[in-house]
Amino acid sequence: MLLEQSSWPEIVSYLETSRGIILPIGSTEQHGPTGLIGTDAICAEAVARGVGEASGALVAPTLAFGMAQHHLGFPGSVTLRPRTLIAMICDIVHSLARQGFAKFYFLNGHGGNVATLSAAFSEIYAGQSLDPPRQGPAPCCRLRNWWQSRELRQLVEELYGDAEGSHATPSEVALAAFASAQALKRAPLDPAVATKKAGFTDAEDYRRAFPDGRIGSNPSLATAEDGRRLYEVAVKTATQDYLAWLAQ
């Protein structure tokens, strides 16, 4: 069930059966010379909607912009400042909490969002502690990365081994191609497996350290069939996680 395709009376009925909502969040940022700029949002949305279908959960519109300041050296990348993203998350949660939603499951597609999402949750909880809401249940938030389960990490290891890397990875490129039904883009990659230098600060520093945008990955290993397998495992494991958390 998708929030944007529902009417308000349908949301009233939904709230009689569940207080949970899934919120996909991604990023709009470079993913190397062949990966889609929308990779993180496309992956988060596909997995979130799959979980919604499997569990009956309501799924919110995808937040397609995230905290991606280090990618700004590559055209097409967009960032929200951490404080902007924190403010957005707080406003979205408080809007829905006012109406009776209580369990906010953020299905994330971008590692760079993790620290800021955690800070947003702290902001929400601090608000409750300092100024408790007069009505309705207190919101409870959970962050889930689509790649988070052990089963998924095992599949990634089996498919790509050390060439998975940590940005513009073959797994996310494969999942995004499958989810968007787009043909995989191909281009010569040199070196085939990108450098894994540790650490970066701002956009200049990132571009210097990772000239084509990739970190430690070889996305040319990705296939659409891999994307289908990754999707199925990600949906299955995240559905189990969502339902277990909702029942707590």
For Ni ion, the binding residues (CB under 5 A) are 39-40, 172
Residue 66 Cβ vs Ni ion, minimum distance, rounded to whole Å: 10
107 and 22 Cβ atoms separated by less than 8 Å = yes
Q: Which is nearer to Ni ion, 164 or 172 (CB)?
A: 172
Which of 34/39 has CB closer to Ni ion? 39
**Residue 7 beta carbon to Ni ion: minimum distance, rounded to whole angstroms:** 34
Distance CA(221)–CA(204), nearest Å, equals: 28
Element containing residue 23 per DSSP (H, E) = strand 20-25
21 or 174: whose CB is closer to Ni ion? 174
Cβ 155 to Ni ion shortest distance, Å: 17
Residue indicated by tokens 């070889």: 218
Smaller CB separation from Ni ion, 102 or 163: 163
Cβ nearer to Ni ion, comparing 39 with 149: 39
| Gap between the Cα atoms of 126 and 98, Å rounded | 17
Closest residue to Ni ion, based on beta-carbon distance: 40
Q: Give the Cα separation of 156 and 147 in Å (integer).
A: 9
Residue 143 is inside which H or E element, if any? strand 140-145
Please state the length of the chain.
Answer: 248
**Residue placing its CB nearer to Ni ion in the complex, 55 or 108:** 108
State the minimum distance, in angstroms, from the CB of residue 247 to Ni ion: 31
Say if residues 161 and 214 touch (Cβ distance below 8 Å).
no
Q: Taking the CA atoms of the chain, what radius of gyration do you get in angstroms?
A: 18
Listed residue (87, 93, 98, 108) closest to 140, CA to CA: 93
Smallest separation, CB 165 to Ni ion (Å): 11
**CB distance 66 to 30 below 8 Å:** no
Nearest approach in angstroms of CB 112 to Ni ion is 8
